[in-house]
Amino acid sequence: MPGPYDVVVIGGGPGGYNAAIRAAQLGLKTACIEKRAVKDAVAFGGTCLNVGCIPSKALLFASERFEDASKHFASIGIKVTPEIDLPGMMGHKERTVDQLVKGVSFLFKKNKVDPYFGTGRIVSATQVELTGPDGTKETLETKNIIIATGSEVMPLPGVTVDEKVIVSSTGILSLSEVPKRLTVIGAGIIGLELGSVWRRLGAEVTVIEYLDRIVPGVDGDVAKEFQKILTRQGIKFKLATKVTKAEPGASGVTVTMEPAAGGAAETLETDILLVCIGRRPFIEGLGAKEAGVAIDKRGRVETDGHGRTNVPGIWVVGDVTTGPMLAHKAEDEAMAVAELIAGKAGHVNYDVIPSVVYTHPEVASVGKTEDELKAAGVAYKTGKFPFTANARAKTVAEKDGFVKIIADAKTDRVLGCHIIGPEAGNLIMEVAVAMEFGASSEDIARTCHPHPTLTEGVRQAALGVDNRIMQM
Amino acid sequence: MKKDMICKLLIIGTGPGGYIAAIRAGQLGIDTVIVEAKKAGGTCLNVGCIPSKALIHAAEEYEKVLHYAEGKSPLGIGLAAPTLDLGRTIAWKDDIVRRLNNGVAGLLKKAKVPVVHGWARFKDGKTVEVETETGPQIVRAETVIIATGSAPIELPFLPFGGNVISSTEALALKTLPATMAVVGGGYIGLELGIAFAKLGTKVTVVEAESRVLPLYDAELTRPVMKRLADLGVAVLTGAKAKGVSAKGDALLISTADGADEKIAAEKILVTVGRKPVTEGWGLEEIDLDMAGRFIKIDDQCRTSMRGIYAIGDVTGEPMLAHRAMAQGEMVAEIVAGHKRSWDKRCIPAICFTDPEIVSAGLSPDEARKVSPEIKIGQFPFSANGRAMTKLAEDGWVRVVARADNHLVLGIQAVGVGVSELSTSFGLAIEMGARLEDIAGTIHAHPTQGEGFQEAALKALGHALHI
């Protein structure tokens, strides 16, 4: 029997594999269990690498290049007529995923993590039962268990995903042809990213959202601008609308919907229906409940805020517990939990977790939104700067979006930053680092920002908090 | 004779240093006048950073689609060979410059700072005479800021004119030259050389030093060298330019081993550096102390004469627009009575080559001089998911820190799009970050910024993704 282990990690996504690597680096004898199989072999990397962040970003990048070439190059003096080679584009996606998945196995080998292919079930705080792909069972003895089982697609009552014409975020990544009409249920990050991919490739895209706004949780100003830009790009929105039924037929899918507030139902015909109303924690068959691990009403494994469950020796990281379902949040929790197990001082600062939407333009934010601060009764000031007044944006033929920085009205400490614009995902990191240092908007304003870069927009927004923008 | 203008603050030059000083002075309620001989925005906006970045962007996009057309795209975008309409590209670039010119003029107006158009000349430390189109204008000021900038250095044996051009003319070519020799392999020469090579010009770079981009460490420049080779740019190091051929269609050089050679070149672009503009505006009348070629300044940009400040390229290296802007802002605040002095720990520098290079703070060699032992963490983009999705796997991020207390001393990167990581680097150094601070900051996934965090982790001995 293998083991005994110091740490057995159940789940090999960004939370699980990083926890395993860090634990092994700290000298702990570590195993990581993963059940996902690709072509009969174990595929580490979880949702993110296999069917999430990475393949979607590969398609977003390729489709954006296609759209640039078809629509934007003429204005800068380049004449060209591009065509889509969808299998070629999918090839780029598959190569990227394949390299990264193999990369995780390599990292395990390098860091001496024992990989296991199969499904893990918690028997007790010191035992994990592994069921291999052929059904054979073995038990791993361990001092600690880290639950990193992630999340799964949230189903919508009345709509059955078949991954053919009614697809989830997984199926939409592998369509074999560009649909004429694509309907997306859910105007969240995933829906808008994947809707953008297929719109660029030629689909007529309609997004249906239950709430009366898109990207819930994102700063209101940003969401408004975002919707305006996406509409101009050709995406149609049906907000405050509830989907009650979706039926596949001879000519696609018939979607039945009604106003969220109640009212007359209407129908819509579409070739492909993408359901992405969110994700839910995945603990089926894990045996956590049976082992006495507390689960909250929304099915999330409860923690003390430092990765400990209520059962000593059982820990949790990532989507399966509370907090935003983001790979980098899971990774940070993973590092902290591995360090805590090793007796070090691991810590996650939940106030500074950036998030990025990879549409064009990108949307990125960190810290609090104005709505959150208003609700909490915090007095704040804002500074806002549009990319139309940024020189670098002009030289790369970009004009949409803005940077907004929010700072405490009394202390000037930066409380949040919200960006919609080119490279927003790279720009947000400066503010995240600044917030980790408890920086004021003046600290950002007094830091030399190279010219000509888009980052100058962040500085101008920081100046705006003190009402002294210079470039506008 | 025009009536004398009297003001509290006079600024000479509307480049990034001058116009920012003027806007900040206006915000602070200082009665300010600014003088400009040409167009608002200086070198940067008219013939430097901005137009070059526009041309670089267009060239980069063109080369990419050309590459796709040759069937080399891994992205699944098929196309016939693209055609370039350079006239259209240049018109697009000119339009950007025009809008930014108008923008600066508008900002000065908003700040209530009048612009006097013409060449300024000191009569004494408080009086300047401007030769305007409508006659001389005397401006009297309590305080003067000299922001006259810099100009391309001309080689005596390769005087500008005809086919010998500076970066200014290179940015305004109407037709694409079939061949171009670039004299000087610094960042300006390489940025433009790469852009022209991508547009289809056969480019040869002639550099007297033993390698190009001698101001950056060799490791940083390696990915750029590789790309130059891929683009078919010939790089001759240790070679000296001698002059133009009799017909004017070739550059004469002597190679590293002393042989004389002729390099066919429709255009010869000379980019051997820039010199401060210290002539023609009456420096001799006020007799300021100099630091070599530059005007000598202290940590508040004061010159040797009371009431006269100098900012930007005329005061020395690094000749970067953002340094000038920071100085301009600071001096305006000093003039308004604020307590300010130059306390920047870091002025990041960016090379908009392909791939881009960023350097913030100290290189490993420089760091070894201030710290007996250092730690270095380097993380390649080939192990970064975002870079893989963007076909941007060349290059890396490197963090240099003191070994004893992990204080970050320098951060360098080379790779596609790293210019936008520059401020994260600069801010970390400015805040006095330790390696643990960078490692402990959540970097969004998947972004190239994760490479920064991983480089810090690597320096700490526990990188996760390599």
Omega before B446 within 30 of 0, i.e. cis: yes
Of A394, A380, A397, A343, which Cα lies nearest the Cα of A464?
A380
In this predicted model, what pLDDT tens digit does every residue of A292-323 receive, in sequence order?
A: 999 999 999 999 999 999 999 999 999 999 99
Q: Taking the C-alpha atoms of A247, A252, A258 and A260 in order, what is their torsion angle to the nearest 10 degrees?
A: 90
Across residues A193-203, what is the average pLDDT? Answer: 97
Determine if residue B26 is left, alpha or beta; phi over 0 gives left, psi from -120 to 50 gives alpha, anything else beta.
alpha
Of the candidates B248, B40, B20, B10, the residue with the CA atom closest to the CA atom of residue B129:
B10
CA dihedral B312, B315, B319, B321 (to 10 degrees): -10
Where does A239-351 show beta strands of DSSP type E?
241-249, 252-259, 266-270, 272-275, 279-281, 314-316
DSSP B315: G
Check residue B329 and give its pLDDT: 97
Residues 6+ apart with CB under 8 A from A284: none
Q: Kindly report the nearest CA distance between residue A65 and chain B, in angstroms.
A: 8
Q: Are strands A78-79 and B32-36 parallel, antiparallel or unpaired?
A: unpaired
Q: Is B38 exposed, middle or buried, given 0-12, 13-18 or 19+ CB atoms closer than 10 A?
A: middle
Q: Average pLDDT for residues A122-145, to the nearest whole number?
A: 97
pLDDT in tens, A24-78: 999 999 999 999 999 889 999 999 999 999 999 999 999 999 999 999 999 999 9
In this complex, how many residue pairs, one in chain A and one in chain B, have their CB atoms less than 8 Å apart? 294
C-alpha to C-alpha distance for B361 and B398, rounded to whole angstroms: 12
Phi, psi dihedral angles at B282 (to 5 degrees) = 85, 30
Return the beta strands (E) in A126-189 as ranges.
127-131, 137-147, 151-153, 166-167, 181-185
Catalytic residue flag (residue B443): no
Q: How many CB atoms lie within 10 A of CB A324?
A: 12
- The residues near B246 (Cβ < 8 Å, ≥ 6 apart) are none
How far is A182 from A37, CA to CA, in rounded Å? Answer: 29
Q: Is B401 helix (H, G, I), strand (E, B) or coil?
A: strand
Catalytic residue from among B117, B338, B445, B462: B445
pLDDT at A2 over 80: no
Domains and CATH numbers, chain B: 5-47+90-152+275-335 (3.50.50.60), 164-272 (3.50.50.60), 349-458 (3.30.390.30)
Max distance between CA atoms of chain A, in angstroms, equals 69
What is the average per-residue pLDDT within A148-165? Answer: 95
A213 contacts chain B (CB < 8 A): no
- Contact residues for B106 (Cβ-Cβ < 8 A; gap 6+): none
B47-99 tens-digit pLDDT? 999 999 999 999 999 999 998 888 877 888 888 889 999 999 999 999 999 99
Residues contacting B230, CB < 8 A, separation 6+: none
Angstrom distance (rounded) from CA A379 to CA A277:
33
Using CB atoms and an 8 Å cut-off, which of residues 332-361 of chain A contact chain B? 332, 335, 347-349, 352-356
Interface of B with A in 179-198 (CB under 8 A): none
Q: What Rg value do the Cα atoms of chain A yield, rounded?
A: 23
CA B77 to chain A, closest CA, distance in angstroms equals: 5
CA nearest to B107 within chain A: A472
CB < 8 Å to B323, chain A = 448
A 10 A CB-CB count for B404 gives 11
3-class secondary-structure state, position B13: coil
Rounded to whole angstroms, how far apart are CA atoms A21 and A269?
Answer: 48
Residue A471 with chain B: CB contacts under 8 Å: 103, 107
Least CB–CB distance from B61: residue in A76, A352, A430: A76
Question: Which of B395, B405, B398, B408 is CA-nearest to residue B367?
Answer: B408
Question: What pLDDT is stored for residue B466 in this prediction?
Answer: 85
- Residue A221 host element (H or E): helix A220-233
Compute, in degrees rounded to 10, the torsion defined by CA atoms A454, A459, A464, A466.
180
Say which DSSP state A92 is in: H
Instruction: Establish if B460 touches chain A: CB-CB under 8 angstroms.
Output: no
pLDDT given for residue B1 in this prediction: 73
Q: What structural domains does chain A harbor?
A: 5-153+280-341 (3.50.50.60), 166-277 (3.50.50.60), 355-465 (3.30.390.30)
Q: State how far the Cα of A433 lies from the Cα of B449, in Å rounded to an integer.
A: 11
What are the start-end ranges of the E strands in B64-223? 77-79, 83-84, 115-117, 119-124, 127-132, 135-146, 150-152, 164-165, 179-183, 202-207
**Using CA of residue B15, residue B18, residue B22, residue B23, what is the dihedral sign?**
positive
Question: What is the per-residue pLDDT for A251?
Answer: 85
Distance CA A327, CA A337 (A): 15
The B residues from 98 to 117 touching A (CB cutoff 8 Å) are 99-100, 103, 107
Residues belonging to chain B:
466
CA distance B192 to A63: 29
- Dihedral sign computed on CA atoms, order B187, B191, B192, B196: positive
Of B76, B344, B350, the CB nearest to A89: B76
A26 burial via Cβ count (<10 Å: 0-12, 13-18, 19+): middle
The reported pLDDT for the residue numbered A76 is: 93
Q: What is the pLDDT of residue A1?
A: 54
Contact check, Cβ <8 Å, A77/B23? no
Alpha-carbon span A305 to A317, nearest angstrom: 10
Chain A: residue nearest B46 by CA? A391
Across A339-362, average pLDDT: 96
Please name every residue paired with A277 in a beta bridge, in sequence order, or none if there are none. none
- For residues A348-368, average pLDDT: 97
pTM of the model: 0.93
Chain CA centroid to CA B245, Å: 31
What is the torsional sign of CA A430, A435, A438, A443?
positive
- pLDDT tens digits for A398-410? 999 999 999 999 9
Q: Which amino acid is at B298?
A: D
Residues lower than pLDDT 70 in chain B: none
Q: What distance in Å separates the CA atoms of residue A21 and residue A429, rounded to the nearest whole number? A: 24
pLDDT (mean) for A141-169: 96
Q: Given the DSSP bridges, would you call strands B119-124 and B127-132 parallel, antiparallel or unpaired?
A: antiparallel
Q: What is the mean pLDDT of residues A249-256?
A: 93
| Average pLDDT of every residue of chain A | 96
Q: In the prediction, which pLDDT does B79 show?
A: 84
Q: Do residues B329 and B301 lie in contact, with contact meaning Cβ atoms separated by under 8 Å?
A: no
Q: What φ, ψ does residue A225 adopt, rounded to 5°?
A: -60, -40
Q: Do A449 and B389 lie within an 8 Å CB cutoff?
A: no
- How would you class B388 by CB atoms within 10 Å of its CB: exposed for 0-12, middle for 13-18, buried for 19 or more? buried
- pLDDT on residue B215: 87
User: Residues B12, B120: contact at Cβ < 8 Å?
Assistant: yes
CA dihedral A139, A140, A141, A142 (to 10 degrees): -150
Longest Cα pair distance anywhere in chain B, in angstroms? Answer: 74
Distance (Å, whole) CA B276 – CA B425? 29
CA angle A237, A242, A244 (to 5 degrees): 125
Tell me what percent of the residues of chain A surpass a pLDDT of 70.
Answer: 100
Query: For helices A424-436 and B422-430, what crossing angle results, to 10°?
Result: 10
